[in-house]
Structure 1
Amino acid sequence: MKKVIEFLKNWTLPCSIVSGAAIYYIFAMVPALDGVGRAMSPVFDQALPWFLFVILFVTFCKIDYSKMRPARWHLYTSLAQVVMVVVVVFSIIYFDLRGPHRVLMECVLTCIIGPCAAASAVVTAKLGGSLESMTTYTFMSNVLTAVMIPIAFPLLEHGASLPFWHMLWLILLKVCAVLVVPMGLAYGVRRWLPRLSGAIAGVPDLGFYLWGCSLSIVSGITMRNIMHAHTTATFLVATAVVSFVLCVIQFSVGRNIGRYMGASTEAGQGLGQKNTGFAIWVASAYLTPLATVGPGCYILWQNLVNSLELWQHRRMEKKHHD
């Protein structure tokens, strides 16, 4: 039993992915459970944002707010994201892509233009990076995305031709709900209820394991979206492969940028770990429903990359102690 617990601790993210996908598959394939699965589906959809809220609140209780300030890697990582977005949008328009090729490129776009995941601070802290610097970049990344989407999407889809300020306002409202509210609450608890804040911050890896639970839900939802995608197996495989390559590229580019500024871990997570739930929302709302398959696959790849990073970090720590 001790070995099982240790295995689950070391490989929390892959176990969460596999368990979430397996549970959904069982409920989807067993006729007797189909009714229960249909009833629970909207419950899990509603529970996920609350999970994220609690995860961020717990994480923000550990932040030293006086250390939150812009850094050089923030600028260069943001520029890299902008350049990649411009290249993809220009390619779609210049080559006048249509049909599956256009949808595939829109999948790529949603995986690039999406903001840094709010939960990336959790992994960064586990990897020994700066929690405060990562949180600062998360805010900057979300604001940058809020500006880029109203500019880029109307160029691609007529359905996205909402006024710039209207789209900007809708996106900023979501950013506020996801980031600003839990941070404000955590700041208030740290200031006026220090004992409660200390007790929350004192629980080892609480935010990380809560994130593992939310990832299990995300994996089940992703499996549902992929299985119900009205497209061919060839397109699904192509999207999975392209999103994997893109995931590796973004993590690698981020790490290489950060390597010259003493922030390899932070920049890698900042550019590579995306808020895929947000990406899925904007793709379904302003592009095409099939474009949600890209960020759906990206969820799995980025968490596998995170798992490998954590494994490597544990191995290096073990060598250091030995």
Structure 2
Amino acid sequence: MNVIRFLKDWTLPVSMGMGALLYLVFAYVPQLDGAALFFDPVMEAILPLFMFLILFVTFCKVDFHKMRPVWWHLWVSIFNLLFIGIVMALILSLPRAVANSCVPSVASDLRSSASLFTFHSTLILLEALLMCIISPCATAAAVVTQKLGGSLEQTTTYTFLSNFITVLMVPICFPMIEKGADISFMSAFLKILYQVVVLLVVPMLLAYIVKHTMHRFHQKIISVKDLSFYLWGCSLMIVTGTTVKNILHAEASVVFLGMIALLGLVLCIIQFAVGRFIGHFFGRAQEAGQALGQKNTAFAIWLGITYLNPLSSVGPGCYILWQNIINSFEIWQERQKNKGLKTLS
């Protein structure tokens, strides 16, 4: 019973630890090479299914009549766009700074090479940060918000808004960063919109149909306590394993990877803190903190690998660790508070 209680209390850290451990075992035990080759595409295929199920179960518990925009949605969206604008301004200022520093003379060849290296390194760092900002609010943010006693409906509504902000901003920003990339506004817009519809709109429609036409099945789903939370734990295990894989196969120094991880930590703290600060004025600190701080990092990793330097995907990969450490701490705090209330009563 103590083991079960431990797993329930520390689901997120256990999921991340298991994901990292399982990947290392399959990667470094030669006898498991065949199994690793078999499970690699399987894990990639079932991750979207887990995300779909998480949303479906979450939406089954949502009161759709309460899903409407509120004022903190506007302010969180404004700050999200502001953060995107700041990072984009830094990225677009890089070529000019490098051009000014590269004097065309033989004596400056070494200095020019160093400047070019600095340019590429800085660009990758900024792209990694951009991935952690421009990616939408995580589908699991509503799950955590519910665990923390917040409004499931308000967080779910912002998840929709956040995804459509991402759909609009990615096709605008990415061609300015990677001018040689084969990406147009409409192709990127439609591709990302398709992802949003499949992973967000479809499970919502199915949940709405089940809730209003299949009452017995709906009651069975919502009767399983924390079902969406544990489904999220399973998906987190897969995403963590993928993150460890990307880090170990990254063609970069440990110091550079450490810089990406450290900047991801700073950004994660800033986004959670700013979100909670905004929500404080509306009595929704938990909801706004999760909305701005918790990101769909699996989607961000896909964006980085598909359109930008693949090393930029290490940023959201590390962000997974930081945001779930914060989530685990917040859930622990909420659990301690509830224990204290029970003791007083």
Checking the alignment, whether the CA contact within 8 Å between 1:20 and 1:219 is kept in structure 2 is: yes
Letter paired with 1:151: I
Letter paired with 1:68: M
Mapped to 2, the partners of 1:246 and 1:259 lie a distance apart of 20
User: How many angstroms does 1:161 deviate by?
Assistant: 5.7
* Structure 2 residue 312 is matched with structure 1 residue 291: yes
Checking the alignment, whether the CA contact within 8 Å between 2:175 and 2:184 is kept in structure 1 is: no
Q: Which runs of 4+ in 1 moved over 4 A?
A: none
Mapped to 2, the partners of 1:91 and 1:210 lie a distance apart of 38
Mapped to 2, the partners of 1:164 and 1:83 lie a distance apart of 21
For 1:1-322, what aligned pairs fall within 5 Å after superposition? 2-96=1-95, 98-160=119-181, 162-322=183-343
Letter paired with 1:197: H
User: How many angstroms does 1:34 deviate by?
Assistant: 2.1
Mapped to 2, the partners of 1:217 and 1:91 lie a distance apart of 33
Q: Structure 2 unaligned runs (5+)?
A: 99-118
Mapped to 2, the partners of 1:310 and 1:163 lie a distance apart of 42
Deviation per CA, 1:71-116: give whole Å up to 9, x if none: 1010000000100010001011124372111101100011001000
Letter paired with 1:321: K
User: How many angstroms does 1:50 deviate by?
Assistant: 0.4
**TM-score, normalised via structure 2 length:** 0.91
SS in structure 2 opposite 1:274? coil
User: Residue 113 of structure 2 corresponds to which residue in structure 1?
Assistant: none
Mapped to 1, the partners of 2:150 and 2:284 lie a distance apart of 8
Aligned-residue identity in percent: 52
User: How many angstroms does 1:165 deviate by?
Assistant: 2.3
Letter paired with 1:71: V
Mapped to 2, the partners of 1:304 and 1:212 lie a distance apart of 13
SS in structure 2 opposite 1:229? coil
User: How many angstroms does 1:173 deviate by?
Assistant: 0.8
User: How many angstroms does 1:262 deviate by?
Assistant: 0.9
Mapped to 1, the partners of 2:191 and 2:22 lie a distance apart of 34
Which shifted more, 170-179 or 26-35?
26-35
**TM-score, normalised via structure 1 length:** 0.97
SS in structure 1 opposite 2:180? helix
Checking the alignment, whether the CA contact within 8 Å between 1:253 and 1:268 is kept in structure 2 is: yes
Greater Rg by CA:
2
Mapped to 1, the partners of 2:215 and 2:284 lie a distance apart of 30
Mapped to 1, the partners of 2:26 and 2:292 lie a distance apart of 35
Letter paired with 1:6: R
User: How many angstroms does 1:166 deviate by?
Assistant: 2.3
| Paired positions, count | 321
User: How many angstroms does 1:38 deviate by?
Assistant: 1.9
Mapped to 2, the partners of 1:194 and 1:205 lie a distance apart of 19
SS in structure 2 opposite 1:284? helix
Q: Structure 1 unaligned runs (5+)?
A: none
Letter paired with 2:131: T
Checking the alignment, whether the CA contact within 8 Å between 1:159 and 1:286 is kept in structure 2 is: no
Checking the alignment, whether the CA contact within 8 Å between 1:247 and 1:301 is kept in structure 2 is: yes
User: How many angstroms does 1:59 deviate by?
Assistant: 0.9
Mapped to 2, the partners of 1:4 and 1:169 lie a distance apart of 46
Checking the alignment, whether the CA contact within 8 Å between 1:159 and 1:287 is kept in structure 2 is: no
Checking the alignment, whether the CA contact within 8 Å between 2:94 and 2:123 is kept in structure 1 is: no
SS in structure 2 opposite 1:158? coil
Mapped to 1, the partners of 2:182 and 2:27 lie a distance apart of 37
